[in-house]
Every structure is written in structure tokens, then in C-alpha cells.
Structure 1
Amino acid sequence: MNIEYSFDKRPSADQIIELYDNAGLPRPTSDKERIQKMFDNSNLIVTAWDSELLVGVSRSITDWVWACYLSDLAVRNDYKKEGIGKQLINFTKEKVGDQSMVLLLSVPTAMEYYPKVGFEKQESSFIINRAEWK
């Protein structure tokens, strides 16, 4: 398997929606315009490709010197357990450098995954939830 990672190759909204649905990532995939805006307004995106097939994505928002919020990490089901998620995280961390932390909010189904790839669980977060999407 020859996976190509890219900071420059941007997927279409349709490719993102298909990947998120395949990976089981709970995002508003029935709202193509919202998905597109999520990517348009993110300033650090790493993609993973198997030829022309989008197999993984890491989408972040960062100030490059203090904090990087890793908003989405998704890997296509058939490609899980191949190290793609870990590599997407590594490229994200490499790009923001040592001065910046990388933090995320995990979906419940991934709580066991993140400690395996170097994240430390924190008990100090708070949230004001968004309105539910339909």
C-alpha cells in the first residue's frame, strides 16, 4: 500500500462527506455547504490518499505557536490499523512545531485510540455545545 500524504491536496466536499460517512465520524454530512465551510475555514489540513481515493484526513485550527485544535481525524474503514491516523497526527504535530500543543475532543468510540498514539487524557475541559444538526 502506497499512501501519499499532502498538506496541499484539498479534497472536494463530496470526497470528505464520503470519507466521514465511511469512517463513522459524526459530522453534518447531509449539509454539503457546512462541510465545505468547515474545510475552508481550517488552516491546517493533512490528507492521505491511495491514488485518487481519499483514505484519511486531519483537520485542524491553529495559531502555530501555542495551540492547535485537531477538529477531525478520520480514516476510511478498510484502511484502519495501517498507521494512517497516527501518521496524520505526526504530520500535524510536525507542522505546528514544538511550541504548540495539539488538543482534541474525542468521539466516544475513539477514547481508547488516542492514548495509543501519544495523547494524554485530560480532565480539565469545558464545552458549550452547538445546536444539534439534522
Structure 2
Amino acid sequence: MIYKISTDGITAEMLEGFFVDWPNPPSPETHLRLLKNSWKVIVALDEESGKVVGFITAVSDEVLTAYIPLLEVLPEYKKKGIGRELVKRMLSELKDIYMVDLCCDDDLVAYYNKFGMAKSNGMIQRNYEVQSGKNN
């Protein structure tokens, strides 16, 4: 597995199959745009296929706060430590940021606890009409 901290050389064709179980998933082209517009991004590439098999993103004010909105590993690549490596690498990238937040479902709290993250309350709003991405 190759881990890259940029989108250099990444194409939409390399991003097929993500956003599993989303009713209105972003297209690979929109996915590429969101990766490029993120403050930090790490992608996991399968060396043999050249396909992106996992990714994590962060947005930040570049002063005190960062938020990790997305982490996903393709279903056929789960349980191989890729997600763990992506989180570990992203937290290392964010080590100089005071406040690193993310929201997750209750069943993932124990997973993120392993990285030293603490459970907190969060509030969210979802606009599913534009879930596939603004300005597709």
C-alpha cells in the first residue's frame, strides 16, 4: 500500500466505489474535487491496481482548529489496517493543531478512542438534497 499526502496524479477514474450506502453519493469527479479542496488529504493506493482504496480529509482554520469530515476504505480492503494507518497519519499531520474534531456514529467511538480521541457531544444538520455534491 502506498500512502500519499496529496492528490497529485489522482484521477476521477481512480475513485470508483466510494461513499458506500449513501443514497446520493458524489460522483468520482465530485469526489476528486472535494479531495483537492480539502486542507489536508491522505489517500491509500493499491500498488498493483493503482486504484485509491481509502482516503481521509481534514479542513482547518490553520490556527487552532481542524475537523476530519471523511474517512473511508473500500469494503473489499477493510480489516487490513488501512483505516487505522490513514487516521494515524492524519493525526500526525495535525499534531500542531490545538483542537481536532470529528463526528462519528456511536459504533465507531471505541475505534477512535484507540487513537486517544475522547467522546464528545456534537450537533449536525444534513441536507440530503445536495448530498451528491454542490454544483455537480
- Find 1:50's aligned residue among 39, 46, 51: 46
Between the aligned residues of both structures, percent identity stands at 26
* Structure 2 CA distance for partners of 1:90 and 1:108, relative to 1, 3 Å: same
Q: Does 1:126 align with 2:118?
A: no
* Structure 2 CA distance for partners of 1:72 and 1:27, relative to 1, 3 Å: farther
- TM-score, normalised to structure 1, is 0.74
In 2, distance between residues paired with 1:47 and 1:14?
A: 14
* Structure 2 CA distance for partners of 1:50 and 1:108, relative to 1, 3 Å: same
* Structure 2 CA distance for partners of 1:99 and 1:39, relative to 1, 3 Å: closer
- Find 2:95's aligned residue among 94, 97, 110: 97
Q: Which amino acid aligns with 2:124?
A: I
Match of 1:64 in 2: 62
* Alpha carbons 2:66, 2:97 under 8 Å: kept: no
- TM-score, normalised to structure 2, is 0.73
* Alpha carbons 2:7, 2:41 under 8 Å: kept: no
Q: CA deviation at 1:60?
A: 1.4
Q: CA deviation at 1:122?
A: 0.6
In 2, distance between residues paired with 1:86 and 1:50?
A: 16
Q: CA RMSD in A?
A: 2.7
What are the ranges of 5 or more consecutive residues in structure 1 without an aligned counterpart? none
Q: CA deviation at 1:109?
A: 5.7
What are the ranges of 5 or more consecutive residues in structure 2 without an aligned counterpart? none
